[in-house]
Structure 1
Amino acid sequence: MVSSPAPAPTTDYAFLAAELRERDAAAFVHVGDRFDDDQRYLTRFSGPDRDYAYVYVDGEAVLCAPALFEEQARREFPGDVVYAPADLDAEAPGQQAVEVLDAYDVGADETVLVPQHLPHDAALYLDGAGVDLASTDAVAAARTTKSDAEVDCLRAVQASAQRAMARVETFLAEAEQDGTALTHEGERLTSERLRREANAVLAGEGVDPAANTVVGVGETCADLHFRGDVPVDAGETVLVDLSPRGPHGYYGDLTRTFVVDAEGGWERRAHLAVQRAQDAAFDELDAGAGVAASLVHTETAAEVAAYGFDTGYDADTGFTHETGHGVGLSLHESPSLSDDVELAAGTVVTVEPGVYDPTEGGVRIEDLVVVTEDGFENLTDYPRSLVPEPREWV
């Protein structure tokens, strides 16, 4: 079953208007390509892989379309004005931004806001025009909370991730044992085979794995971004982390851990600790908007410690990372669930406690949730069982 695509979200530029008023600035300028997630948020424009300029000035959002992309820009850009190449004398995006500022009578010595990561050549063109450049983090701040349309995009791609997870879990459940070695239809089962199975489902769903599919086995589960190919044996933890990106640019993020023929030792204790820790995080998130991100992490870590595992970023084993992070047009974005900030309604974060020991394996469970005014909505409803079972997931 292929997911129905969520409607493409738009961008409300009121936050830029407010920032310009507060900073007594005349305009905002950004230059980047489709791989720049701030630029993707501002323009909703999905191509090309070369820089183009965006300008917000006099209450209007302006996109300078790259050559050969005018039609696509007019179709995708939710702003007010698209300048085609024929409308611009300059070719360099920074120079084009200067032309737009001139067209809107932004004079020398007026303040123009830019992100800190504005390309150097664009900054030089703006500086040469005599405007006073000042940095702003307004775009990053705006991206922290998601609109209903953005949440729908995240929900859709997370659903695709769940269907891919069901394929991996079913594959493990159907595996046959030859001693401790696991096979599937006579072929040795490996992390790469499981990765291919997940990615095939994701491709069929119309989402891009973007090389983000992680399958760790045994000791390699302690490598949080393992990409290698190792055999899978009975009794070993198999950690599957899926982070596909939808055509709208939004990511999903889902992790489950399985063990075929679990012996009931370290892996079961670790799995129980991680489940209970995730529940502790959910208990804090039940407070809804205003809950402190750092409190969510503190209570999660305390639950892991109660099961006898080490915690802390400097620990060699145990719970060695933050409880979660923001997800949107970037796979990792603000806020972190260890930051000293209050979570606002519309914030989308992962909740992913884990326990790792290179001599034993690794266990992580990860859901994607959105904070609401009076609680949270879990965009994930995939089971958290340690022992793999055949799954039919729609």
Structure 2
Amino acid sequence: MSRPLAPGAPEVAADHPPAPATDLSPIAEAVTEQDAAAFVAVGDRFDDDVRYLSRFGGPDRAYAVVVTPDRAVLTAPALFDEQAEREFVRGAPDDGVAREVRTEKQGDPAGVRAAAVLDDLAATETVLTPASIPHDAALYLEDAGYELRSTTVVADARERKTEAELACLRRVQSVTCRGMARAEAVLAAAEPDGDELLFAGEPLTTERLRREVDAELARHGVRSAGNTVIGAGQTAADLHYTGVDHIAPGETVLLDISPRGPHGYYGDLTRTFTVDSDGGWERRAFVAVEQAHETALDHVEAGVTAGTVHEEAAAELTAHGFRIDSAEVGLTHGVGHGVGVSLHEGPSLRADTPLEAGNVVTIEPGVYDPEIGGVRIEDLVVVTENGSERLATYPIRFTPASPE
């Protein structure tokens, strides 16, 4: 049986797009430019850099990716040889970097196996690594005679999304909108009863609303990843509230939904609703945040300094009488951040660097008062040469709408 959804929920394709392939040429070029032997990353499927480099959804046991100017090697963990071959080698793009999977000595630590690959392929003793390389792997590489040099080349490459990555982000964001639509439909159907809202005859809580959202996400093959944040009243001022709170008439209900799709890419969408409002702080805050959201979107385009977007949104909130850069009251966070295989990655919209076409960022101004509540509006956009494009659209409404 289909679930009622609020108007504005996008249609969602039956299947997810194919897994994107990673162009390793920027990493190979960095190795050449810095006169290094190779780039080495070590981690498991929960390490976003390693997952991005390999596209290998292996186990929670560490493995290594070694990239030289013309070759990339994945040291597959035991029992995952075929999957590593399929995802790392057969799915590789034509980027000039040959892929191979090595399966020898699978009982050895990943750092030891990475050093063995370097012994076969390396021409120098300098190795580039991300700053997050596990300590034990770094020690194994150093014990093998390699000098480690930290690099941000993977983080930099991840900031510029390809069309295949954008397809994954659009898909998960469209499902995120469906989750929001389900929550809005529940709120619209809720009936005031004294200081409570009743849904289907029972008191409506943030946990019950979260279950409705997560079930809708699951119907479309997307998992919440524990990132369905819902607060009401005072808990709406908590940026990461995942507890249980009763929802009362007239207070803000803030829903921040950030699920992860099957290829590892995140959606991110926030809306704030109020049921049976009589205006006051909630309405004034909503109007201010909505205007700050529009102002921020107007300033997003390639070449604009990222921090400018934050400053313009903050100025709009100040003009409406709200504090900015406060620890607890007003705007307490940056107006946006990058999203990809990590929920929070570059670029930050507080950075003193220009935005680039292909950056995917959130636009999420908000204001909060721990004694009253919180209001935030957030969309996920891709930066273009002449502005930005929402990866999926969802209406902005103060009062939740009933299904059509």
The match for 1:359 among 371, 379, 382 is: 371
Runs of 5+ consecutive residues of structure 2 not aligned to the other structure: 1-11, 93-97
Residue 329 (str. 1) matches residue 344 (str. 2) = no
Please give the TM-score of this superposition, normalised by the length of structure 1.
Answer: 0.95
Instruction: Name which of 198, 206, 221 aligns with 1:191.
Output: 206
In percent, how many aligned pairs have the same letter? 57
Match of 1:10 in 2: 21
The worse-fitting range, judged by mean Cα deviation, of 15-24 and 320-329 is 15-24
Which residue type is aligned with residue 296 of structure 1?
A: V
- Structure 1 partner of 2:8: none
* Corresponding residue for residue 9 of structure 2: none
Structure 2: which amino acid aligns with 1:81? Answer: R
Q: Residue by residue, what CA displacement relative to the aligned partner does 1:281-312 show, whole Å, maximum 9, x if unpaired?
A: 01111xx2111111100000000111111111
The 3 A distance-change label for structure 1 pair 90 and 99 is farther
- Helix, strand or coil for the counterpart of 1:130? coil
SS of the aligned residue for 2:65 comes to strand
* Structure 1 residues 128 and 353: CA distance shift in structure 2, 3 A: same
Of residues 245-254 and 177-186 in structure 1, the stretch that sits farther from structure 2 once superposed is 177-186
The 5 A counterparts of 1:280-295 are: 280-285=295-300, 288-295=301-308
Quote the Cα distance in structure 1 between the aligned partners of 2:106 and 2:359: 42
- In the TM superposition, what whole-angstrom CA distance separates every residue of 1:254-307 from its partner, at most 9, and x where no partner exists? 00000001111111111010010011101111xx21111111000000001111
Could you say which residue in structure 1 is the equivalent of 2:82? 71
Counterpart of 1:257, as a letter, is T
- Mapped to 2, the partners of 1:152 and 1:81 lie a distance apart of 24
Matched, 1:211 2:226: yes
Alpha-carbon distance in structure 1 between the residues aligned to 2:137 and 2:313:
44
Q: Does 1:297 align with 2:310?
A: yes
Q: 1:372 aligns with which of 381, 384, 396?
A: 384
* CA–CA distance in structure 2, aligned partners of residues 93 and 338 of structure 1: 36
Task: Confirm or deny: 8 A CA contact 1:158 1:380 kept in the other structure.
Answer: yes
> What amino acid does structure 1 have at the position aligned with 2:208?
R
The CA deviation at 1:84 is 4.0
* SS across alignment from 2:72: strand
DSSP 3-state at the match of 1:91: coil
Partner of 2:252: 237
* Match of residue 41 from structure 1: 52
Q: Which residue of 1 aligns with 2:114?
A: 97
The residue type equivalent to 1:96 in the other structure is R
Is 1:65–1:82's contact at 8 Å kept on the other side of the alignment?
no
Cross-structure match for 2:193: 178
Cα distance change of structure 1 residues 2 and 203 upon mapping to structure 2, 3 Å threshold:
farther
Distance 1:22 1:82, change over 3 A: closer
User: Residues 229 and 256 of structure 2 are in contact (CA less than 8 Å); yes or no, is this contact kept in structure 1?
Assistant: yes
Aligned residue in 1 for 2:360: 348
Change (3 A) 1:347 1:391: farther
TM-score by length of 2: 0.93
Work out the CA distance in 2 between the residues paired with 1:338 and 1:163: 30
- Given the superposition, is the C-alpha separation of residues 229 and 374 from structure 1 closer, same or farther in structure 2, using an over 3 Å criterion? same
Q: 5+ unaligned residues in a row in structure 1: which ranges?
A: none
Structure 1 residue 58: Cα displacement: 4.2
Is 1:32 paired with 2:32? no
The answer to whether the aligner puts 1:50 opposite 2:61 as a matched pair is yes
Deviation of 1:5 after TM superposition, in Å, equals: 0.2
- The 1-side partners of 2:106 and 2:341 are apart by 32
2:254 match: secondary structure: strand
Q: 1:200 aligns with which of 215, 218, 238?
A: 215
**What value does the CA root-mean-square deviation take over the aligned residues?**
1.4
What is the deviation of 1:316? 3.0
- State the alpha-carbon separation in 1 of the partners of residues 64 and 32 from structure 2: 22
1:358-380 Cα offsets, whole Å, 9 max, x none, are 22211000000000122111113
Q: Distance in 1 between matches of 2:38 and 2:402?
A: 56
Paired residues in the alignment total 386
Shift of 1:131: 2.1
Report how far residue 110 of structure 1 moved: 2.2
1:123-138 correspondence to structure 2 within 5 Å: 123-138=138-153
**Contact 2:363/2:381 (CA < 8 Å) preserved in 1?**
yes
